Amino acid sequence: MQTLQEKASQWSGVDTADAFAIDDTNMFQKLGLQIFINLSTNFYTRVYDDEEEEWFRSIFSNSKKEEAIQNQYEFFVQRMGGPPLYSQRKGHPALIGRHRPFPVTHQAAERWLYHMEKALESTPDIDADSRVKMMNFFRHTAFFLVAGDELKTQKQQIPCKHAASKPAES
User: Where along the sequence are the contacts to a copy of itself (CB under 8 A)?
Assistant: 3-5, 8, 16-17, 19-20, 23, 55, 58-59, 61-63, 67, 83-84, 87-98, 100-103, 105, 107-108, 140-141, 144, 148, 151-153, 156-157, 159-170
Q: Least distance (Å) from a copy of itself to the CB of residue 51?
A: 15
43, 72 in Cβ contact below 8 A? yes
DSSP per residue, 83-133:
--HHHHHH----HHHHTTTS---HHHHHHHHHHHHHHHHHSTT--HHHHHH
Residue placing its CB nearer to a copy of itself in the complex, 92 or 124: 92
Residue placing its CB nearer to a copy of itself in the complex, 52 or 153: 153
Q: Least distance (Å) from a copy of itself to the CB of residue 65?
A: 13
Residue placing its CB nearer to a copy of itself in the complex, 104 or 126: 104
Residue placing its CB nearer to a copy of itself in the complex, 38 or 147: 147
Q: Least distance (Å) from a copy of itself to the CB of residue 46?
A: 18
Q: Least distance (Å) from a copy of itself to the CB of residue 165?
A: 5
First to last CA, the chain: 10
CA angle 25, 76, 150 (to 5 degrees): 115
CA angle 83, 86, 88 (to 5 degrees): 80
Distance CA 47, CA 108 (A): 11
